[in-house]
Amino acid sequence: MNITAPHCLMVVNPGHFHAALCLRARHSRLSDDVYVYAEDGPELAAFIEIIEAYNRRGERPSEWRLHIYRGNDYLDRLVVERPGDIAVIAGRNNDKMAAIKRMLSAGIHVLADKPLVIDRAALPQLSQSLAEPPLMMEIMTGRRETANRIAAALVERTDVFGSFDAASGRPAIEMTSTHHLWKLVNARPLICPPWFFDVGIQGEGITDISTHLIDIAQWMIGDGTDEMELISARQWPTEIPLALFTEITGLDEFPRQLDAQINAGGLPYLCNGAFSCRIQGIAVSAEVLWAPRIPDGGGDSHRYRMGGTRGSVIVDHGSATEFESVVVVTPVADGPTFRAALTDAVEDLQDEFPGLSVAANGDGYVIDIPKPLRTTHEQHFAEVLDRFLNCVDSGQWPSHWETDVAKKYELLIAAKELSHAST
C-alpha cells in the first residue's frame, strides 16, 4: 500500500471507555494529533484521564496530542471542520446510528463501538451505512483473541472437528459470557455514566454483548451467514441497589428519568439475556450475564463450545482457568487416528502460533498456548484499529461484511422483541 500521509483520528463524544482503548498504543499510520469533539462533563474528563495515563506510562508511552472542542453542537462542528479522516465513536447507543450515517455522508470513515443498533427503527440506517463507502466498521475484538483464533483454525480441520453436529440434540454452538457492572479498567475502578443504566439509551442486554457472541458464531460457521432463524429469547434484570449505583456512577441518587423503574431493592437493570437460533441451519445458544461486581482476584468470563462430529472444540476463560483462555479438544472417539490428526493440526499452526503444543488432559486434550502469544482484551482494540486502517487504505471490506453485520442486528432486534412478547 502506498500511503502518502498518516491518517488522523477524530473522537466523537467519548461516553464509553472503549474509545480510549483504541488509543492504547501509537500507530505508524496515525498522526499523534487527535481531535476530540464532545459535550463537556465527566465522560470527557474520564477519556482525557485515560489518554494522559497512556502518555505518562513508563513502558512504551503514547504521545497523543489532544485537541478538544467542548460543546453540545460537537457533531455539527466535527462535520464542518473535519481535521481528520477517521472518526471513532463509543458512547450513547440510541442515536449512534444517526451520527454514524451523518459522518459517512460527510466522507468520514467510522470505527464504531457496539452495539450499532438497539431498536428496529435504526436498522434501515445500518443497511444504508454498510452499502457503500466511506467505510464503517464495528469494533469486534473477539476475532483477535489468540485462543479464539486457534479454536477457529481447529474447527476448520475436518479430521479433528468433522462438521457441526446436528444429531446430538444439543446446540452445535453453545456460548456463555459473564460480565460485571463494577470492575477495574486500566487498574482503576471503572466509572460509568448514569445513562449506562437507562436501557432507552444504552440498550437492553440482549442487544449488547450478544453482538460479540453472534460475531464469533458467524466466524466459526463461516462468514456469509445470510440464513438466520430465531428460535427463542428471554431477558431478566440484575438488581442494582443505590449503594452500588453510587459506586459505579459517583451519583448519590438515581436519575429522575429512571424513577418509573425503581423498586424497593433499587434499579432492576434489564441487562441479562439468552437466546437460541439457527445460523446456516446450525443450532446456536447464547447467554449473557451481568453480575453486580467483580470478585477479588476475578474477572469477566466466557465459555464457547463448538460441537463437531469428530470432536468438540472449547474455549474456556474463567476462575477454573485462572482467567486465561484455554482451548480444549474433546474427541467423540479417541484413539491413535484422532491423536495423530490433532498433532498434525497443531504442527500446521506453528507458523502462525510458534510454540503451540498439545497434551492429554482427562477425556480430552489441552492446547498449550505459550505466554508470548497471549494478548489482553485491551490490546485487541489496537489490533482492530490496525485492521480497520488496512480496509480504509485498500478501499475493501472483508467478504460478506455487509450481509453478516446486517443479519446479526436483525436477529438481535428480533430477539429483543421476542423476549418482551414472551413475558
The three-state secondary structure class of 187 is: coil
Closest residue by Cα to residue 82 from 4, 140, 134, 128: 134
Q: Measure CA 283 to chain center.
A: 22
And the C-alpha cell for 198?
Answer: 437507562
Q: Distance between CA atoms of 205 and 270, rounded to whole angstroms?
A: 6
pTM of the model: 0.94
Q: In angstroms, what is the C-alpha Rg of the chain?
A: 22
Cα separation of 17 and 26, whole Å? 17
The pLDDT score that the predictor gives to residue 298 is 83
- Is 247:203 a contact under the CB 8 Å cutoff? no
> Any idea where the domains of the chain sit in the sequence?
7-142, 143-377
For residue 240, report the phi and psi dihedrals to the nearest 5 degrees.
-115, 100
Going by C-alpha positions, the residue among 83, 80, 87, 84 that lies closest to residue 135 is 87
Burial of 90 (0-12, 13-18, 19+ CB in 10 A): buried
* 76/181 Cα distance (integer angstroms): 33
Is 266 exposed, middle or buried (CB count within 10 Å of its CB: 0-12, 13-18, 19+)? middle
Backbone torsions φ then ψ of 365, nearest 5 degrees = -135, 140
How far is CA 395 from its chain centroid?
Answer: 23
Helix-, strand-, coil-residue percentages of the chain, each rounded to 5:
35, 30, 35
Q: Which residues contact 148 (CB under 8 A, 6 or more apart)?
A: 142, 216, 304, 315, 325
In this structure, the number of other CB atoms found within 10 A of the CB of residue 394 comes to: 10
Q: How many CB atoms lie within 10 A of CB 107?
A: 11
240: β partners:
267
- Among 295, 288, 259, 286, smallest CA distance to 271 is for 288
Domain 143-377: assigned CATH number: 3.30.360.10
Parallel, antiparallel, or unpaired: how do β-strands 301-307 and 173-182 relate? antiparallel
**pLDDT for position 162:** 98
pLDDT at 4: 47
The CATH fold of domain 7-142: Rossmann fold (3.40.50)
Q: At 4, is the secondary structure helix, strand, or coil? A: coil
Q: What is the DSSP letter of 105?
A: H
Residue from 41, 303, 13 nearest 148 by CA: 303
Task: Name the residue with cell 493440526.
Answer: 345
Look at residue 229 and give its three-state secondary structure: strand
> Over the stretch 363-420, which tens digit does the pLDDT of each residue have?
999 999 999 999 888 889 989 999 999 999 998 888 888 999 999 999 999 999 999 9
Which contiguous run of DSSP H or E holds residue 48? helix 42-56
DSSP 161: T
Three-class SS of residue 23? coil
How far is 16 from 346, CA to CA, in rounded Å? 38
Output the CA–CA distances (angstroms, integers) from residue 382 to 13, 264, 305, in the order listed. Answer: 19, 43, 27
The pLDDT tens digits along the chain (423 residues) read 344 458 999 999 999 999 999 999 999 999 999 999 999 999 999 999 999 999 999 999 999 999 999 999 999 999 999 999 999 999 999 999 999 999 999 999 999 999 999 999 999 999 999 988 899 999 999 999 999 999 999 999 999 999 999 888 899 999 999 999 998 776 778 889 999 999 999 999 999 999 999 999 999 999 888 899 999 999 999 999 999 999 999 999 999 999 989 998 899 999 999 999 999 999 999 999 999 999 888 889 999 999 999 999 999 999 999 999 999 999 999 999 999 999 999 999 999 999 999 999 989 999 999 999 998 888 899 899 999 999 999 988 888 889 999 999 999 999 999 999 976
User: What pLDDT score does 131 carry?
Assistant: 84
Confidence (pLDDT) at 186: 67
pLDDT number for residue 223: 83
